[in-house]
Every structure is written in C-alpha cells, then in structure tokens.
Amino acid sequence: MWLNATARQVIEFDVSGTVLTRNGNRGQDMVLQNLYACAGEDQWIAVSVRDDSDRAALAALLGERDVDDARLAAWFAGKPLAASVQALIEAGVPAAPVVLPTDIGDNPQLQARRFLETLEHPRVGPVRYPRPPIAPWNGGYLTRPAPTLGQHNREVLCGLLGVSDEEFAQLERDAVIGTSPVR
C-alpha cells in the first residue's frame, strides 16, 4: 500500500530528477482540487477539477467566466452540502461529501464493494472493520477481530518461546504480563 502511495515520487525522481513537493490538497495533475466549507456546521465538499473541461463546467454552474479557490469558497459557503455535491456531479465535475469515519458505512459505493466486514469482538460485541483494498470480493476476508490485551501471551511465551508454566505464572503474578491494563 505505501509503495502505491509513494510510487509517483520515486518514478518522477528516477526519470527526470524532479523532486515532487507538497501541494496541500492539490493533486499533481489537477487544475484545481480542494475541500470547501458548505452551509451548516462542519459540512465540507471535496472537489477535483481534472482539466479545462471540468473548469468550464464548474464556471458555468457558478455563473462565472472562470473559477479559483476564492470564488469556490464563497459559492459553497452558502450552499447545502448534498445539493452542492449533486450539482457538481450532474455537471460532470468530481465531487463528494467529506464524512466522519463513523459514517463511511453509509456510503452506497462502499456498501456495494463490501468495504466493511462485521466481526464479533469478545469484549465489545460486533465491530465493523475495513477490508484491505485488494481483498477478494467473494466471501469474508477477515478471519478474526483484533486481539484483546494479552490474549496470545501463553501461545507466544509458552508455545513459541518455550517459557514454562511456572515461569508464565510468575510473570503474571509480577504483573509483567496480563490481560488488563496496569492501574
């Protein structure tokens, strides 16, 4: 995954000697890309203007000759988020609402791709976990929930490292290992 996130920088340097620098929210190949506040509290839209065609469509939607960050920020500030996203999508300009992590499960695209899997966690009950982006789509990918504190102590210490039962018990008594946080 990290190689995919950094491959462009590596290739660009290897091919041309160019060191790519940070661009804030802007993509290297985007005409314009940013997050803009919409009407309402903590309502944000992500917009990506890929080319001059997107820019012209966005300018027409705003009733402007051209668009820039300042014009977009002013326009979105008075518009509801859902209506803004819909208007841009209908104009052919990539846009999406910025959502809280707790709300990503409501996204129809992620639901269709079964991005989240529910597993039973021994302490907190059912928990939705994200699948890796390369997970096979037939059947479940995740086999078990995240382990609890100390869940595998005996398996690792005794089974893999050869610690005796007596030594293991002493480690527990001395609070070197355990299944509860130290207080």
Asked whether the whole model's pTM tops 0.75, one would answer no
What does the pLDDT read at residue 28? Answer: 63
Per-residue pLDDT tens for 58-84?
A: 999 999 999 998 999 999 999 999 999
Lowest mean pLDDT among 16-20, 131-135, 172-176: 131-135
What does the pLDDT read at residue 71? Answer: 92
Q: What are the CA-CA distances from residue 19 to residues 11, 22, 32 (Å)? A: 10, 10, 21
Residue % of the chain over a pLDDT of 70: 89
What does the pLDDT read at residue 27? Answer: 62
Domain boundaries along the sequence of the chain: 24-98, 100-139, 147-183
In the chain the first and final C-alpha atoms are separated, in Å, by 37
Architecture of domain 24-98: 2-Layer Sandwich (3.30)
Per-residue pLDDT tens for 12-56?
A: 778 888 777 766 666 666 788 899 999 999 999 999 999 999 999
What residues have CB less than 8 Å from 177, skipping those under 6 apart? Answer: 150, 153, 157, 168, 171
What does the pLDDT read at residue 60? Answer: 95
